Chains A and B, each alone.
Chain A
Amino acid sequence: MTNRSPLLRVEQFSGGYVEGIEIIHDVELDLFGDEILTIIGPNGAGKSTLLKAIVGALPFEHGRRYFQGEDVSGWSTPRMIASGVGYVPQVDNVFTSMSIRENLEMGGYMRRDGLRERIGEVLAMFPDLEQRPGERASRLSGGQRQMLAMARALMLDPVMLCLDEPTAALAPAARGELLSRIYQIHMTGVGILMVEQNATEALVWSDRGLVMVDGEKAMEGSGREMLTSPEVGRAFLGQEEGEGFTLEEGSRQ
């Protein structure tokens, strides 16, 4: 595992919505293709803003971002998407007025060929969606919408998937199911960068974790380090003093 080059590299990165009002400050971040990296942190810390910046959806940015070794600073969202990045926003992440199939067609808008085949493959990953591809997205449950949002982002065979709080709207039972689905997608060779509020559950599945506070990177470490770190536990995982997280609970299978 030496000499790997990262899928994504973000250097001295700052940005925001209005020039002059910086939301994220000087963030450094690497994501390798065989990793799940989870960003946690309090509400308003700038986690969503960072993901938007990475996919080129922010009005202004300073600093550099590299994707697969190429300098992609300033690239627009469609260009990032075309080069192999999938992005699932935190909210409004499906076309509600369109059917499941149409949502997937839009996800595959840039495909030159094999649209039908890819829709078939992606639907096969999500049995709930496969049963009724003509259903309007507005009629789906929260969990199904989240599945559709991910399915849409997979249509172009991305090598990296940016997921903004995929389990936020879900019941606890559905969260585990979705996270394991994300893990399965990861195992097909997709680097995963995700933001999560349900930090404990997400970190269990993650190779690395990163804590963001007030637009800055406050801490970074392996998933285990995060889960067992007393500061992280107290501040973000809802643990009481002295109540550590044991590795058995935290192991994957």
Chain B
Amino acid sequence: MGLTLVYGVLGVGDFAHGDKMGWGMFLAFFVVSSEGANLGFAGGQFGSLSFGWGLVVGVLVAMLGVAALSLVLERLVFRRLRDAGGTFFVFAIASLGISIGMRAVIQLIWGPSNFRYTPGIHPATEILGGIKVKPDQFFIVGITILAAVLLYWLLYRTRFGKAMRATADNPGLAEASGIDTNRIRYGTWIVGGMLAALAGVMLGLQAEVRFDAGFRLLLPLFAAVILGGIGNPWGALFGGLLVGIAQEVSTQWINTGLKPGIPFVIVIVVLLLRPRGLFGQAR
């Protein structure tokens, strides 16, 4: 969702989005891990969830940190490229470079191994039809829905959010309406960065904390965005669900090693049938 927002409003295919998720994941890990514990944050658990206040603080730190990082990158890199008349391709290459750099820094600090927010085994409970779900997963779904609702509220109900949509729709006309599009861009990076960080922590909670986890998710993420219709947050959420489900279900029939290829098969099929994505509207 953050990615499609950034793409829609800023026209930047942010290849660093996956690694922003990675940074969010590790910033939160820093807070809950032993280093963070020394600062007095870690510990505790909520009911049957695997985490406690430590992770809540971690999420907040991660969101602020990644948002700040995104702002710095906009100021130092993207704004200059835009002022110099950079094309879409230039932005893509720049963000790819940033992506590699960000991942390298994570690897330098935390190394290539895997971590968990809370060590130990967290039992899954059985729900209907023998499908097992962990309490954490309910939590993740809840947070995702909450984030989607908040994003919708921001974009469709607030003055700033509407200005974000206006800037995405037609930046020149936004300026001609008196909207300071630079401020809107900063705001978009903040929201996009916060969403990336949140997604990163949720990913770390669901799977494991690993230096390239965000990056590995980047391609399915782009697939989800394209599926949902670029720049459409609801579409992105639905596209994400579709890609995720398709990947899991497909392993019943095909080799697990081919799983990463599934998003692309779906994208190719959808784009052949509906070039603007499942929910894209003609202009």
Instruction: Give the docked Cα–Cα distance between A61 and B165 (Å).
Output: 30
Q: Does the CB pair B179–A78 fall under 8 Å? A: yes
| Residues of chain A contacted by B35 (CB below 8 angstroms) | none
Question: Hey, which chain A residues are within 8 Å of B177, CB to CB?
Answer: 81, 106-107, 109, 152, 155
**Using Cβ atoms and an 8 Å threshold, which residues of chain A touch B169?**
95-98
Q: Which of A81, A98, A105 contacts B176 (CB 8 A)?
A: A81
Give A57 to B170 CA distance when docked, in angstroms.
14
B180 & A78 in contact (Cβ 8 Å cutoff): yes
**Residues of chain A at interface, number, CB under 8 A:** 27
Let me know if B176 and A77 touch, CB within 8 A.
Answer: yes
Q: Which of A77, A107, A153, A156 contacts B175 (CB 8 A)?
A: A77
The CB with the most chain B CB atoms within 10 A, among A76, A81, A155, is that of: A81
Please choose the segment from A86-94, A173-181, A191-199 that sits at the chain B interface, where 4 or more of its residues have CB less than 8 A away: A86-94
Question: What is the chain A residue whose CB lies nearest that of B174?
Answer: A106
CB distance from A120 to the nearest CB of B (A): 18
B85 to chain A, nearest CB (A): 9
Q: Which residues of A contact B281 (CB under 8 A)?
A: 97, 138
**Chain A CB within 8 A of B166 CB:** yes
Q: Are A92 and B170 in contact (CB under 8 A)?
A: yes
Closest chain A residue to B179 by CB distance? A109
Question: For window 86-127 of chain A, which residues contact chain B by CB distance below 8 Å?
Answer: 87, 89, 92-98, 102, 105-107, 109-110
Give B156's nearest chain A residue, CB to CB: A102
**Most-contacted residue by chain B among A57, A95, A96 (CB, 10 A):** A95
Q: Counting CB contacts under 8 A, is A55 at the interface? A: yes
From A94, A95, A96, A109, B178 is in contact (CB under 8 Å) with: A109
Nearest-CB residue, chain A, relative to B176: A87
Which residues of B in the span 214-235 have a Cβ within 8 Å of any Cβ on A?
Answer: none
Q: List 21 A-B contacts (CB under 8 A).
A: A57-B176, A77-B178, A78-B180, A81-B176, A81-B177, A82-B178, A87-B176, A89-B173, A89-B176, A92-B170, A94-B173, A95-B174, A97-B281, A98-B162, A98-B166, A102-B166, A109-B159, A109-B177, A109-B179, A138-B281, A138-B283
Q: A95-B174, A102-B166, A138-B281 are in contact. List 5 more A-B contacts (CB 8 A).
A: A77-B176, A78-B178, A92-B170, A97-B165, A98-B166
| Interface of B toward A, CB cutoff 8 Å | 159, 162-163, 165-166, 168-170, 172-180, 281, 283
Point out residues on A near B: beta carbons under 8 Å: 55, 57, 76-78, 81-82, 87, 89, 92-98, 102, 105-107, 109-110, 138, 152-153, 155-156
